[in-house]
Chain A
Amino acid sequence: MSQITIKLADAVANNNPNDTLIAYGIGSTLAVILYDEGAKAGGIVHFMLSNSAVGSLKTREYPAMYADSGIPQLVKSCVELGARKDALTARLAGGAFMLGKGISQSVSDGNLSAARTILLKMGIKVEAENTGGNHMRTVRLDISTGKVYLRRPNCNWEEIR
């Protein structure tokens, strides 16, 4: 059984039942976790901003940095591994912000609302969300079961249903 780490600005799909995908350090950024139960395939994209239009030529080398390019990229990769787009379901984790709101809340809100809109347009249902607060998150997707677990610092794993 191997554990595959999804870094920030990374989108990875997988259909190996022996694998687990894990994304650490989700702050104001957002992880979108997709899974098709029939195909037993899914993936995680960990993006940091909603809209790729803010990027320069240099930053467009990282499509998974943004919701509008990263989510479609992950959907495409899942479909290539046998998932059906209309059978994919989504879970969202992240979107923390600092006290006093400000820029961190505006970035988190932007990420969350972009993810919801894009998934809705693509016909992908959001099954669960674990967002907000001012703590970091780690999420894990078990490919064999599609179960998604979340951990806060100094806490145990809990399933996001």
Chain B
Amino acid sequence: MTLDSKIGRSLNRLPAFPATVHKVTSLINNPDSSLFELVEVIRLDQAITANILRMCNSAYFGLRHKVDNVHDAIMYLGKQNVVRAVMAAGTSRFFKDTPGYEAEAKDLWEHAVGTALMSQILAKKILKHEDSQLFTAALMHDIGKIILGEFVSEKYHEIKNSMSARSCSFLEAEEEVLGMNHAGIGGVIAAAWNFPQDIQQAIAYHHRPDRHPVMASPMPWLIHLADQGCLMMGIGYGTDGLSYHGLDEAMSRFDFTNKDFEEAMSLLFAELDGARELIGIVQPKVA
């Protein structure tokens, strides 16, 4: 069996994405929907319900009394936090150890949450508002690694050799040896899971936003910067480390200065420190 068809077979075996997450997102974006409808949809997924209640009762939100039902949890968390909590609870189940990148599930998850939080810090500064779609895309930006990991593991030495011989990035070496890279596979997974095209493309182009067909879209650029900040800080790193391109244009196109970026990094550290417990309670299953 060729490598292409082996990767294709792994993609076909990918479990379905929980429908609850898409339903919640569309209800929250619909001004005519009611709280009752939202509660009913969330209640259908036991794992998501349990995680939302645990999040709501964590020290992060600092509530004085225990919340024991979805209705109250939504009231306390607010719509933006409900989308994030549901997305985190729905997505975390897919994170598993990825041998090729020498990253454990918890590292990949921490990197995903770190990048999602950083994307919002950057969005607040650059776009002047937070963005739930960007949060989702940032949370899933490396999802392709869960499929590609075993193939990277098999061909690790060839990938390393290609990097040294061509002085290229890990991404380009993946592409040469495996015929595809983890960002592209991530875009394919997002399409299979019925995420909007903007999210698919932001994932697929997060390492090379300069190759994105619609250069005007800020999403892949912001994820590129958020990912870079997390790699620099060693948040959930793998064996690929910092072997990627850091595009200067990502800063200049937003008139973002080095000082702005350093300030964003320090804010991210403080946010992650505050969110430790929150990250920990959505521990993904280790495969």
B215 within 8 A of A: no
Produce 1/0 per residue, B232-251, CB < 8 A to A: 11110111011111111011
| Bound CA span A120–B67, Å | 55
**Other 14 A-B pairs with CB < 8 A, given A29-B234, A99-B243, A101-B246:** A48-B266, A54-B263, A56-B263, A62-B273, A98-B244, A98-B245, A100-B248, A103-B228, A103-B261, A105-B246, A135-B242, A136-B241, A153-B238, A153-B241
Residues in B with CB closer than 8 Å to A146 are none
Question: Interface range on chain B: under 10, 10 to 19, 20 to 34, or 35 or more?
Answer: 20 to 34
CB distance from B163 to the nearest CB of A (A): 10
Question: Interface range on chain A: under 10, 10 to 19, 20 to 34, or 35 or more?
Answer: 35 or more
Contact A61 B251 (CB under 8 A): no
Produce 1/0 per residue, A3-39, CB < 8 A to B: 0000011000000000000001111110000000000
Contact count A vs B, C-beta below 8 Å: 118
CB distance from B274 to the nearest CB of A (A): 9
Residues in B with CB closer than 8 Å to A9 are 269
List residues of B whose CB falls within 8 A of some A CB. Answer: 102, 169, 228, 231-235, 237-239, 241-248, 250-251, 258-259, 261-263, 265-267, 269-270, 273
| Bound CA span A25–B233, Å | 8
Known: A54-B259, A56-B263, A65-B266. A48 touches B233 (CB 8 A): yes
Residues in B with CB closer than 8 Å to A101 are 246, 248
A73 within 8 A of B: no
Contact A154 B270 (CB under 8 A): no
Residues in A with CB closer than 8 Å to B239 are 153-154
Contact B266 A102 (CB under 8 A): no
Contact partner of B244 (CB less than 8 A), chosen from A29, A99, A106, is A99
Residues in B with CB closer than 8 Å to A78 are none
Contact A59 B242 (CB under 8 A): no
Produce 1/0 per residue, A91-121, CB < 8 A to B: 0000011111111111100000000000000
A-B pairs, 3 with minimum CB distance: A25-B234, A98-B246, A28-B232
The listed residue with most A CB atoms (<10 A of its CB), out of B228, B233, B234, is B234
Residues in A with CB closer than 8 Å to B237 are 25, 27, 136
Contact B269 A135 (CB under 8 A): no
Closest to A50 in B: B262
Contact B247 A107 (CB under 8 A): no
CB distance from B115 to the nearest CB of A (A): 14
Closest to A98 in B: B246
Contact A59 B270 (CB under 8 A): yes
A77 within 8 A of B: no
Contact B242 A98 (CB under 8 A): yes
